[in-house]
Amino acid sequence: MWTGTTPRIKVLVIDDSALVRKNITETLALDPEIEVVGMANDPLIAMDKVERLQPDVITLDMEMPRMDGLTYLRQMHAKRSPVAVVVISSLTPQGSSVALAAMDAGASEVLAKPDGNTSIGALAAKLSFHVKAAYAAKQRTRHHPKAPFTPAVRPAQVSHPASHAKPGDRRLIVIGASTGGVEALRSLLPALPQGLPPILVVQHIPAFFSKAVAERLNTLTPYEVREAVNDEAILPGECLIAPGNHHLMVVADAHGYRTRLTQSPPVHHCRPAVDLLFRSAAQTAGAHTLAILLTGMGSDGALGMHAIHQVGGINLTEHEDSCVVYGMPRAAVNLGVVDKLVMLEQMPKALLEALAELPT
């Protein structure tokens, strides 16, 4: 946490729109822990300002003249820049594809760029939160460099027959993640075999981008991964990801479980929120619930894990040593509701072992 005695986080705002630059700057200026040290209308100007101003974080538009944001980000990544990057991308399928490439190139966070339907005011509640998350993630990775992405283990390497779903099986797997979570999911999900109980995922990402993430994951896994839709049956052997800007919850019906999507107010500045998924799982699946909380800033998911703990489910959290940001797992640990802390590369094995312990 920041205090009045610690240096403020220095931010450089890069966007070709003068209005967006002004609005982002004014929004961040409301947070006493953040200082906007400059603005730039394209990456070529930004290069000089980064050198002179030494920002901790930049907010980066993707579509700009002379050089696009993705090219600039890739150059920064190649030079191992110490500056954290928050991408602000358009809410379109094409923008989401570029945003996903931006995360591959080292962006810590992706937010939706204001358009005709939304204003920068819609970002105000969470913009400073994500700037702080990006800063925390960069600080950690500078001191604990991570190897290039590879799946934790191959599906054939991890197996536990008792973990596979059978007719009438009531077990449910729920996963929550935030900063660094897209990479963590790319490690965990492809390492899981087919035939497991259903998996529901809340990852803090904007609308449209969640679909791009689901489609990418679906190409890596031996089972189907896709965005959830409202009021659909939740089936074994599938992984459903919460759409951006919608809370995902689970409800019971005569045949098992169904999804419920809502746009009720954000929780912890987030929609979707992990807590809402976890609490609904506790209420609906009870002791048949396995919850996993991966890397992320803040405390979302901790209270949901408390609810799961109270009904006899099993809670696993990612170990501090493999987290990009050890915020959400730490909050759950501090509540005393975590059954096991697990390094990310060991999470597939731990997940299957925990499933085998749950009542079916």
**In whole angstroms, what is the distance from residue 120 CA to residue 122 CA?**
5
Residue from 15, 56, 89, 204 carrying the catalytic annotation = 204
C-alpha distances in angstroms, 349 versus 163, 221, 310? 11, 16, 24
**In whole angstroms, what is the distance from residue 87 CA to residue 92 CA?**
14
- Return the closest-CA partner of residue 53 out of 105, 9, 2: 9
**In whole angstroms, what is the distance from residue 24 CA to residue 308 CA?**
38
Residue 110 has φ and ψ, to the nearest 5°, of -130, 130
Residue from 300, 309, 319, 322 carrying the catalytic annotation = 300
Residue from 89, 108, 128, 178 carrying the catalytic annotation = 178
Residue 55 has φ and ψ, to the nearest 5°, of -70, 155
Residue 263 has φ and ψ, to the nearest 5°, of -115, 40
For residue 300, indicate whether it is catalytic: yes
The amino acid present at 149, given as its one-letter code, is F
Pair 290, 355: CB distance under 8 Å: yes
The reply to whether omega before 114 is within 30° of 0 (cis) is no
For residue 269, indicate whether it is catalytic: no
- Return the closest-CA partner of residue 318 out of 274, 356, 264: 274
Q: What's the first-to-final CA gap in the chain, in angstroms?
A: 41
Alpha helices in the chain (DSSP H): 18-29, 43-53, 69-78, 93-104, 124-143, 181-188, 209-218, 274-284, 302-310, 328-334, 347-357
For residue 299, indicate whether it is catalytic: no
DSSP 343: -
- 103-129 in b/e form (b: 16+ CB < 10 A) is bbbbbbbbbbbbeeeeebeebbebbbb
C-alpha distances in angstroms, 43 versus 55, 62, 103, 233, 345? 14, 10, 18, 46, 36
The amino acid present at 158, given as its one-letter code, is V
The residues carrying an active-site annotation are: 178, 204, 300
